[in-house]
Structure 1
Amino acid sequence: MKKYLIAGLLVWLPLAVTIWVLHAALGLLDGLFAFLLSASQTVLPAAWSEHLEALKQIPGLGVLVMLLGLLLTGVFAANIAGQWALRQGSRLLNKIPIVKSIYSSVKQVSDTLFSSSGNAFREAVLVQYPRAGCWTIAFVTGRPGGEAAQHLREDYLSLYVPTTPNPTSGFFLMVPRADVIELAMSVDEALKYIISMGVVAPPAPAVAPLAAPQPARN
């Protein structure tokens, strides 16, 4: 009986957690959308209030509006006029004393992580952390730059060591390349390995069979 209960739990638990997370995200977006509609009611004519209240009752509309907004923003940012407008907006934000430090930091990180030409999270490696003899999985984010690179004369790598089971927090390390072991697993497989606390291990890479020795020719 215990065996079957555990087997059933393993089937339903991932599905239940997935549905719970999606439901929470959907509720958050719908709540934000309802707040925007409520704010619009103070500006738009009173005749629009009935239509806005009807929009609040449509489940999932906030997600569709968000996706449509991202799509339109991407189309706008892909043309010359949009890129010029975004540059002007960035210059304006970078002149505001407190806002510029937050905006510039977030923009640099997002450009690095999501740029198709960037090197962030392109490779999973093994590194000894937090002490020699203890190994963990890290992600290569590039190479040290600026003043740090002037003091590190050898070949160093910039690594992000995520925490378990929440990989959104972690540690930034600069480690010699010689102390890092490259892994064949993909970044997605490494993330699953970390989030599952080592339970879901990716398969080992296939080893090519050794070629049979050729007979000596006279």
Structure 2
Amino acid sequence: MPNSSTEHPKLVTFRNAFFTGLVLVAPLMVTLWALLKIIELVGGRARPLLIHLLPLQLQLRPGLTLFWDILSTVVVLLLVALLGYISRHVFARFLIRTSERLMLVIPGAGPIYNTVKQIVGTFGVQNRNLFSKVVLVEFPRRGSWMIGFLTSKSQAEPQVKTGMGEPWSVFVPTTPNPTSGFLLLLRPEEIVELEMSVADGMKLIISGGSVIPPWPPPKDAPVAATRESEA
């Protein structure tokens, strides 16, 4: 006699299929329910304010309540995002201006702040791309070498009128404040090109020679320098 407690195979198959379908459908139903609640809460309250901007024929057209609720929700979300974007940037500018004014009124902090600001502006990513290579030049006299940056190989009126052939432009900054320096027009044979990256050259100058980049450079140094110049 068969065991009455044993479930029928078809019933087991149906139950397994039902729970599998429920697992697939439940997240979709919950998500849809949540979206409808948001649309009802946000769009339903904003619709009376926005629907008056529409032509009268569209206002009185039946069956479009859900559509206007969805449209009102989208408009409200866009307005909130726009408000956040404007507030963030306005607040950031206000905070920066207030911080600058505070730094300038602190005794002794103003000159330091201005110097650091000039250094950051001079050697920021945008201006740093002007320096193509770190070089050594004999300056201000023979036998005295200084770190500089090769800025251009282009030939214009100053280069041509030197009568030096095709000199290159080299910027030699001062240490430790590299915002000032000297622009030199030198023959290529008077310039010693270095393997260090522009960033390492900046660190060397700003630190007054206390931060020495490793040499020979790591194997990935040329790749890093290339990426840096392309940034």
* Greater radius of gyration (CA): 2
Q: TM-score normalised to the size of structure 1?
A: 0.41
TM-score relative to the length of structure 2: 0.39
Greater helix proportion = 2
Higher relative contact order (CA 8 A, sep 6+): 2
